[in-house]
Amino acid sequence: MTASFRTRAACVRREYDIILDFSASPVGGGLKRLLAYADYFAGSGERVLFLVHPQTEEHIAGKTVKYEVVRRNPLARLWFDPRFVSRYGGRSRWFFSYGIPIYGKVGDYNWLHVSNSLPFGLLSLTLDIRGFVSNFLLRERFVVCADNCSVVSGESEFTLDIYRKTTGWRRELVLLRNGMEAFEIDNGSTRLPQAIAVGTSRYKRLDRTCAVLERMQATRRLEKLLIVGNLESIPLSVRRKPYVECLGILPHQHVLQHMRQSQVFISTSEIENSSNAVLEALALCGTVVVSDIPSHRELIGNGVGQPLVVDGLHYLQVDAGACTLDLYQYSWNKTISHMLSTMSAYTVS
């Protein structure tokens, strides 16, 4: 947070300048963003409070930031939690909510970060009935609560566009991209004859991932498909494939190492906000194959990638060196600085 932000925000004194609510995001992109924000504010002396899920306490406990563990079922936070609003309302200048509808005037200004595009693209997705109903109800809550937001952000223009169309939002929309850790881009290390996929939710369509791998096996040696993610979510038909190796949920550094060792990364998702895994794969894997969907095209660049058709479905294949994306622009420091400068400008506008 810059000194100018604190000065401008000081017209009404609050306990905190910003409360950052990550309490319904114990894994995945939410955990990555939480830790990046905690690193940014660690030891800064700024009046920032993090609200975290119990599972993430072990990750943030060693960082010099102030945090509180919200010991509530994440579903309660997503559907409606009036006790939460009453507890944290009026304590901060800005309230930043990662993926949770804002049910009232919590901060002087409320910032919603749309972390999940599923609720806004349901009709095109493969979901079980429970997943469809829960995301449908969540979408309705986002619509009802839209007027409580001062600013809405997302990780891709695609997500911002479908949020706007669904809610009728006409105010501030901010592109708040994912960042990447400061690891070196891989430039040709020795790779194993394997492919890797990250994520096991139904909309990831791992059956299609296998079909893509089998097509590629006709022209290159790929003996294994590593799948990272919740084992219980992997379809039995996929687990039974002789070349599939299910790794379960791994520490992030282990995932990155598997990417470095893999020839191919495959993502056959039906929808994405903006995939952290694809971004990392573009830096680390020899070849990236992704479904031809708006957020993937936005990430790798329109017109980039060789078309690949498998079972009538269209994919994009990007080989190392062919991607024009400037990976160095995906810095968490840049992302957070952009958020703070937007807050500062909004406060004095």
pLDDT digits (tens, 9 = 90+) for 198-253: 999 899 999 999 999 999 999 999 999 999 999 999 999 999 999 999 999 998 88
| Residue recorded with tokens 């986002």 | 142
Sign of CA dihedral 285, 286, 289, 295: positive
Burial 207-225 (b: 16+ CB within 10 A, else e): ebbbbbbeebeeeeebebb
Q: What is the residue range of 263's domain? A: 192-327
| Structural contact between residues 113 and 99, judged by C-beta atoms closer than 8 angstroms | yes
| Residue recorded with tokens 């306990």 | 15
- Express each pLDDT in 290-347 by its tens digit: 999 998 988 887 777 899 999 999 999 998 666 667 777 788 999 999 999 999 998 7
What pLDDT shows up at residue 143? 92
Same domain, 128 and 209: no
User: In angstroms, rounded to a whole number, what is the distance separating the alpha carbons of residues 127 and 130?
Assistant: 8
Same domain, 83 and 152: yes
Same domain, 216 and 238: yes
Please tell me the least confidently modeled range out of 113-122, 147-156, 203-212, 244-253: 113-122
Same domain, 23 and 156: yes
Same domain, 126 and 41: yes
User: In angstroms, rounded to a whole number, what is the distance separating the alpha carbons of residues 98 and 116?
Assistant: 9
Sign of CA dihedral 153, 158, 159, 160: positive
Q: Is 39 inside any structural domain?
A: yes
| Residue 9: band (very low, low, confident or very high) from pLDDT cuts 50, 70, 90 | very low
Q: Is 8 inside any structural domain?
A: yes
Same domain, 168 and 200: no
Same domain, 123 and 149: yes
Same domain, 12 and 83: yes
| Residue 286: band (very low, low, confident or very high) from pLDDT cuts 50, 70, 90 | confident
Residue 225: give its domain's CATH number: 3.40.50.2000
User: In angstroms, rounded to a whole number, what is the distance separating the alpha carbons of residues 248 and 202?
Assistant: 15
Q: Is 155 inside any structural domain?
A: yes
**Which is more confidently placed, 287 or 132?**
287
Q: Is 183 inside any structural domain?
A: no
- Total of domains in the chain: 2
CA angle 28, 33, 38 (to 5 degrees): 130
What pLDDT shows up at residue 215? 96
Rg (CA), the chain: 21
Considering only CA atoms, which of 175, 201, 244, 156 is closest in space to residue 28? 201
Amino acid identity of residue 95, one-letter, is F
Same domain, 20 and 153: yes
Q: Is 201 inside any structural domain?
A: yes
Mean pLDDT score of the chain: 86
User: In angstroms, rounded to a whole number, what is the distance separating the alpha carbons of residues 138 and 19?
Assistant: 22
Q: Is the pLDDT of residue 101 over 50?
A: yes
Helix (H, G, I), strand (E, B) or coil at 184: coil
- Express each pLDDT in 63-79 by its tens digit: 999 999 988 766 666 66
Same domain, 217 and 159: no
Same domain, 165 and 242: no
Q: Is 133 inside any structural domain?
A: yes
Q: Is 47 inside any structural domain?
A: yes
| Residue recorded with tokens 């319904």 | 24
Q: Is 185 inside any structural domain?
A: no
What pLDDT shows up at residue 182? 59
User: In angstroms, rounded to a whole number, what is the distance separating the alpha carbons of residues 333 and 329?
Assistant: 10
Same domain, 35 and 102: yes
Beta bridge partners of 152: 112, 173
